């Protein structure tokens, strides 16, 4: 277990809690890796972070070293049992200001079980609003979504104000994004008018391939200033870390993957600073 003793600089706190849903219905694009490492980086720089694992695979819980065997109090109990979030949160060992709401395999049937529930799209929003109204104070809430646009992801979009889309610098990177953006639009019009795509993160960038550059350029053309400047390189340390129940930042802080995630998280924090009016919106640099 690596506990970081080095005193880290503090990053700015947002004026109000920022709730970001990390979504992309494609699997394997870096949602979980991004959610976990951004959460860790923010927490290690003094911010209070809540990470909600909404994927039955529980990969985010694993990467944070959080207990999530079947039967562990989890997000399932919150969504389907009405249990308060406060009762199922666990603190990460390596960062006292990082709380994780674990997901267990119990969640695997939740998309279907939720279908017959009252206010099925609002369950997470209600639980989160209730939690944030208590003295639990968080600067950031990050929600890791499963690779689908089902009711779990819908709950995450309804509970959030911001969407963070990780895009893998690979073939077909933009394929399927229209569907995600369409879903976000539907949520904005019918369920949660506050929701906006504020942040796009390029992941698994391989500097040796021309393709990665082409994808990155195309994403920047399409999403403009929503795209974070730092790009996450493809780096084997990133994929090794979860096997040790760790984030790449605790596993190998000097790796290119860790550095990429710390830089990305810093930009997220800076964009959310009270004196920055951007919250991910276009920042004018021409004045
Ligand atoms: P998702 O949550 O979108 O399904 P993951 O975050 O689980 O995607 O990433 C998919 C796989 O790619 C995982 O095995 C992960 O460890 C690996 N991976 C993610 N980002 C990187 C990276 N920057 N470099 C190398 N491997 C990565
Ligand atoms: Mg995942």
Write down the pLDDT at residue 277: 60
C-alpha radius of gyration, the chain, whole number: 18
Is the separation of the CB atoms in 160 and 17 below 8 Å?
no
Distance of CA 221 to the CA centre of its chain: 23
- Which of 24, 164, 239 maximizes ligand 1 atoms within 8 Å of its Cβ, making it the mutation to test the pocket? 239
Q: Find out whether the beta carbon of 27 lies less than 6 Å from any atom of ligand 1.
A: yes
Task: State the average pLDDT over residues 249-259.
Answer: 98
Q: Does pLDDT of 1 surpass 50?
A: no
> Which atom of ligand 1 is closest in space to residue 24's alpha carbon?
3
pLDDT per position as a tens digit, 212-223: 999 999 999 999
Q: Does pLDDT of 75 surpass 90?
A: yes
Is the separation of the CB atoms in 100 and 51 below 8 Å?
yes
**Residue 170 token pair:** 């690979």
**Residue 221 token pair:** 């053309």
Q: Does pLDDT of 252 surpass 70?
A: yes
71 Cβ neighbours under 8 A, 6+ residues apart: 104, 106
C-alpha dist (Å) from residue 51 to 97, 182, 209: 11, 25, 33
What's the whole-number average pLDDT of the chain? 93
Write down the pLDDT at residue 278: 57
Q: Find out whether the beta carbon of 96 lies less than 6 Å from any atom of ligand 1.
A: no
Q: Find out whether the beta carbon of 232 lies less than 6 Å from any atom of ligand 1.
A: yes
- The torsion of the CA quartet 277, 283, 286, 287, rounded to 10 degrees, works out to 10
Per-domain residue ranges of the chain: 18-269
Kindly state the percentage of the chain with pLDDT values over 70.
94
Distance of CA 155 to the CA centre of its chain: 14
**Residue 71 token pair:** 């039967």
DSSP line for the chain: -----SPPPPPPPPSS-EEEEE--SSTTSSHHHHHHHHHHHHHHTT--EEEEE--TT-HHHHHTT----TTS--HHHHHHH---GGGT-EE-TT-TTEEEE---GGGGGHHHHHHTSTTTTSHHHHHHHHHHHTT---SEEEEEPPSS-SHHHHHHHHH-SEEEEEEESSTTTTTTHHHHHHHHHHHHHHT-TT-EEEEEEEESB-TT-HHHHHHHHHHHHHHGGGB-SS-PBP-HHHHHGGGGT--HHHH-TTSHHHHHHHHHHHHHHHHTSTT-S-TTSPPP---
CA distance 31 to 143: 10
Write down the pLDDT at residue 108: 95
> Which listed CATH number (3.30.2000.10, 3.40.50.300, 3.30.1330.10, 2.60.40.10) goes with 18-269?
3.40.50.300
Distance of CA 173 to the CA centre of its chain: 19
Q: Find out whether the beta carbon of 28 lies less than 6 Å from any atom of ligand 1.
A: yes
Mutual orientation of helices 123-133 and 151-159 as an angle, nearest 10°?
40
What's the gap in Å between 31 CA and the centre of ligand 2? 5
Q: Does pLDDT of 282 surpass 60?
A: no
Task: State the average pLDDT over residues 72-88.
Answer: 97
pTM metric for this prediction: 0.94
- Which of 33, 166, 204 maximizes ligand 1 atoms within 8 Å of its Cβ, making it the mutation to test the pocket? 33
Write down the pLDDT at residue 7: 55
What's the gap in Å between 117 CA and the centre of ligand 1? 33
What's the gap in Å between 260 CA and the centre of ligand 1? 14
């Amino acid at each position: 277990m690596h506990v970081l003793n080095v005193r880290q600089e503090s990053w700015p706190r947002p004026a109000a809690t920022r709730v970001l849903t990390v979504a992309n219905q494609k699997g394997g694009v870096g949602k979980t890796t991004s959610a976990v490492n951004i959460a860790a980086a923010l927490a290690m720089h003094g911010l209070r972070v809540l990470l909600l694992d909404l994927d039955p695979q529980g990969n985010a819980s694993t990467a944070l070293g959080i207990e999530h065997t079947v039967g562990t109090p989890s997000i399932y109990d919150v969504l389907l049992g009405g249990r308060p979030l406060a009762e199922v949160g666990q603190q990460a060992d390596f960062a006292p200001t990082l709380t994780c709401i674990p997901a267990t395999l119990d969640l695997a049937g939740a998309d279907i079980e939720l279908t017959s529930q009252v206010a099925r799209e609002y369950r997470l929003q209600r639980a989160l609003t209730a939690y944030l109204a208590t003295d639990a104070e968080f600067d950031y809430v990050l929600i890791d979504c499963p690779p689908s646009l089902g009711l779990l992801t819908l709950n995450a979009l309804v509970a959030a104000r911001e969407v963070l889309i990780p895009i893998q610098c690979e073939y077909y990177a933009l394929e399927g994004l229209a569907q995600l953006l369409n879903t976000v639009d539907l949520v904005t019009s019918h369920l949660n008018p506050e929701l906006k795509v504020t942040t796009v993160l390029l992941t698994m960038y391989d500097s040796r391939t021309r393709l990665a550059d082409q994808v990155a350029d195309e994403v920047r053309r399409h999403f403009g200033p929503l795209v974070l400047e730092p790009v996450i390189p493809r780096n084997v340390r990133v994929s090794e870390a979860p096997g040790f129940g760790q984030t790449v930042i605790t596993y190998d802080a000097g790796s290119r993957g860790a550095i990429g995630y710390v830089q990305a998280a810093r930009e997220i924090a800076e964009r959310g600073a009270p004196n920055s009016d951007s919250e991910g919106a276009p920042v004018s640099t021409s004045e």
